[in-house]
Amino acid sequence: MDGTSFTRDVSVGVSLDLSIPPGNECLAGGLVGCSALGLALSSLVPDVSASCADDGGGGCDCTFDGTSGGDSTGTYTVDRTAGRLVIDPTGDAITYDYCIQEGILTARETDSQGLEDQVVQVYACQ
């Protein structure tokens, strides 16, 4: 960060085993097979592969593996009084509660505005 603009490069490792029980909406009442479900799930997150296999009881056992991420640039503003950081990478501003301590910035999205509201982001100043 340089005062009004930022560049962010994020990489997230994903490794997940998931069991989908029989009769679940994901399986559309038995109309969608496990391998087709795996292909559909693979298309959701770039660079993360998913595969599903029949568990022998009408459900599916699925695995996800890979690394996803990317970079973004944009502008930001800081409201030090409120402890809020507003980041605008794409024209859709996102507000974060933030704290800076000993050269470490932590931020968490406020008001469930997007996908990052459950993630605390940690940045080291360089």
Residue 17 near residue 63 (C-beta atoms within 8 A): yes
For residue 116, how far is the Cα from the chain centroid? 6
Q: What pLDDT, in 10s, does the model give residues 37-64?
A: 888 888 877 788 889 999 988 888 999 8
Q: What pLDDT, in 10s, does the model give residues 63-116?
A: 989 887 777 777 888 888 888 888 777 667 778 888 888 877 777 888 655 555
CA triple 116-7-120, angle to 5 deg = 25
**7-21, 23-37, 68-82 — which is least confidently predicted?**
23-37
For the chain, which residues make up each domain, given as ranges?
12-68, 80-124
Nearest to 52 by CA among 71, 30, 68, 37: 37
pLDDT attached to residue 17? 92
Q: Return the structure tokens found at 12.
A: 């997230």
Cross-strand pairs, 67:
13
